[in-house]
């Protein structure tokens, strides 16, 4: 793969074979971010589990102490008083049949996360085939199927993120922006890793945290020493 000049210069700051302490790794992420825009910082965590088995799934949600730096657009499926409660709490869109029709007929996806009350899941199920592949299907484990929509929206707007395994047993999550600085990024990183460690399935055997890396949108990946993660 051909790399740009800025990436090559940034990569020179990183020892590719080195395993860094979390704070040191995030200091390097900030220093090595080459773009003129405020890059997103992500954590990539490979776990010693097998996502093909139901008893080894790792999925949940956590509120990052400093948020993600991104404005999250929330769509809520609800009815009656819950529609007003959702809008009052800061939801960008709230409703029922009319929103399902808009998604079905207009291929409308001007939202980042979907919340639903339990009584609306039958309706939401009609568009499960389009929401699912995009990672937008509401899920009780992520706190996005709930009777308390106001609380869910408040947490999402405050920086709540969902983490879950992909098919290669890796979790990919944003943990903030380069402009946050290393200290705030470290707070968010530690909060995420603590949640992932607590979510370790009983069926998981051997080393749980296999590899951990952090990177900015345009910067090089930086390996974190799993043994130094609390």
Burial class (CB in 10 A: 0-12, 13-18, 19+), 11: middle
Distance CA 22, CA 77 (A): 39
In tens, the pLDDT along 180-198 reads 999 999 999 999 999 999 9
Return the number of other C-beta atoms located less than 10 Å from residue 96's C-beta: 19
How confident is the model at residue 5, as a pLDDT?
74
Task: Find the mean pLDDT for residues 115-126.
Answer: 96
Interhelix angle 22-32/182-198, rounded to 10 degrees, is 130
How confident is the model at residue 80, as a pLDDT?
93
How confident is the model at residue 170, as a pLDDT?
96
How confident is the model at residue 69, as a pLDDT?
92
How confident is the model at residue 13, as a pLDDT?
73
How confident is the model at residue 34, as a pLDDT?
85
Q: Which residue has the higher pLDDT, 117 or 141?
A: 117
Does the pLDDT of residue 139 top 70, yes or no?
yes
Q: How far apart are the first and last CA of the chain?
A: 35
When pLDDT is cut at 50, 70 and 90, the band that residue 2 belongs to is low
Interhelix angle 81-88/149-158, rounded to 10 degrees, is 20
Are the C-beta atoms of residues 5 and 203 closer than 8 Å to each other? no
Does the pLDDT of residue 161 top 80, yes or no?
yes
Nearest one of 11, 43, 9, 1 to 26, comparing CA atoms: 43
Task: Find the mean pLDDT for residues 208-230.
Answer: 91
Parallel, antiparallel, or unpaired for β 93-95 and 74-77? parallel
How confident is the model at residue 142, as a pLDDT?
86
User: Per the structure block, which two tokens stand in for 158?
Assistant: 């405050």
Return the number of other C-beta atoms located less than 10 Å from residue 161's C-beta: 23
User: Per the structure block, which two tokens stand in for 129?
Assistant: 């085939």
What is the phi-psi region of residue 25: left when phi exceeds 0, alpha when psi lies from -120 to 50, beta otherwise? alpha
Distance CA 14, CA 39 (A): 18
Low-confidence winner among 15-19, 39-43, 158-162 (lowest mean pLDDT): 15-19
Helix H or strand E segment including 67: none
Does the pLDDT of residue 230 top 70, yes or no?
no
How confident is the model at residue 141, as a pLDDT?
85
Does the pLDDT of residue 14 top 90, yes or no?
no
Task: Find the mean pLDDT for residues 40-45.
Answer: 96
In tens, the pLDDT along 55-88 reads 999 999 999 999 999 889 999 999 999 999 999 9
User: Per the structure block, which two tokens stand in for 155?
Assistant: 């947490």
When pLDDT is cut at 50, 70 and 90, the band that residue 1 belongs to is low
What is the phi-psi region of residue 188: left when phi exceeds 0, alpha when psi lies from -120 to 50, beta otherwise? alpha
């Amino acid at each position: 793969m051909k790399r740009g000049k800025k990436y090559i210069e940034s990569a020179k700051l990183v020892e590719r074979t080195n395993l860094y302490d979390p704070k040191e790794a995030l200091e390097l992420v900030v220093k090595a971010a080459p773009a003129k825009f405020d890059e997103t910082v992500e954590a990539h965590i490979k776990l010693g589990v097998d996502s093909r088995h139901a008893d080894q799934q790792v999925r949940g949600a956590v509120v990052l102490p400093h948020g993600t730096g991104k404005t999250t657009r929330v769509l809520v499926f609800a009815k009656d008083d819950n529609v007003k409660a959702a809008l009052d709490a800061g939801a960008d869109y709230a409703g029922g049949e009319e929103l399902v029709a808009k998604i079905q007929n207009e291929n409308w996806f001007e939202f980042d996360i979907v919340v639903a009350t339990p009584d609306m899941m039958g309706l939401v199920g009609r568009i499960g085939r389009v929401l699912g592949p995009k990672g937008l299907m509401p899920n009780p484990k992520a706190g996005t199927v709930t009777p308390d929509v106001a609380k869910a929206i408040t947490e999402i707007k405050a920086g709540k993120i969902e983490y879950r395994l992909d098919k290669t047993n890796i979790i990919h999550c944003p943990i903030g922006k380069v402009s946050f600085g290393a200290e705030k990024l470290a707070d968010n990183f530690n909060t995420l890793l603590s949640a992932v460690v607590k979510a370790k399935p009983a069926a998981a055997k051997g080393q749980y945290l296999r590899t951990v890396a952090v990177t900015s949108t345009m910067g090089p990946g930086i390996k974190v020493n799993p043994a130094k993660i609390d």
